[in-house]
Amino acid sequence: MPQLRVAVAGLNSTMVVSHRPEDHYGWIGEAQAAWFAKQLRPFEDSGWLRVGIVRHDPRPRWWAGQLRPHPPAGRGHARSVAGPRLNLLLHGPGSGGSIIDVLASGLPVVPAAASGREEIIEVTVCGMVLRGDQTA
């Protein structure tokens, strides 16, 4: 979006998902991570806002009483490309609302709004505001 100086990167984290429960985690391979890092570099150098969108939450979470599985040794997720190249990472599905988490790298992470809900994310030079909890 050149007029807004915003670049959006759609990362595919479903590469290893299968019918097996142990394969239900997000994973971004080295080739995809390297490709996005290369593509985002000019936008980073030009000071554009860089937003990543990915299906899987990059953080381990408790769900249904169990810790969700993660890639072996915690590698291969959006955080591998996200840290130095993105300003914001959006993922789904999520609870929505006013949740803004931050990865160890300092990257803000925002889940998608809950099913049947909508959310507006306002990003300015001063920060970010989530306006959610509205029925779609």
Separation CA 95–CA 87 (nearest Å): 21
This prediction has a pTM of 0.78
Give residue limits of the domains in the chain: 6-135
Is there a contact between 26 and 57 (Cβ–Cβ < 8 Å)?
Answer: yes
The dotted CATH code for 6-135 is 3.30.750
Beta bridge partners of 112: none
Write the pLDDT tens digit of every residue in 86-126.
999 888 876 555 678 888 788 888 888 877 778 888 888 88
* Omega of the bond leading into 93 within 30 degrees of 0 (cis): yes
- The count of other CB atoms within 10 Å of the CB of residue 77 is 23
Whole-angstrom CA distances from 46 to 6, 104, 106 are 11, 25, 20
pLDDT tier at 8 (50, 70, 90 boundaries)?
Answer: very high
Residue 126 near residue 110, CB atoms below 8 Å: no
Give, in degrees to the nearest 5, the angle at Cα 62 between 57 and 65: 145
User: Which tokens in the block code for residue 95?
Assistant: 């609870």
pLDDT in tens, 12-31: 888 777 888 777 777 787 88
Centre a 10 Å sphere on the Cβ of residue 14 and count the other Cβ atoms it contains: 15
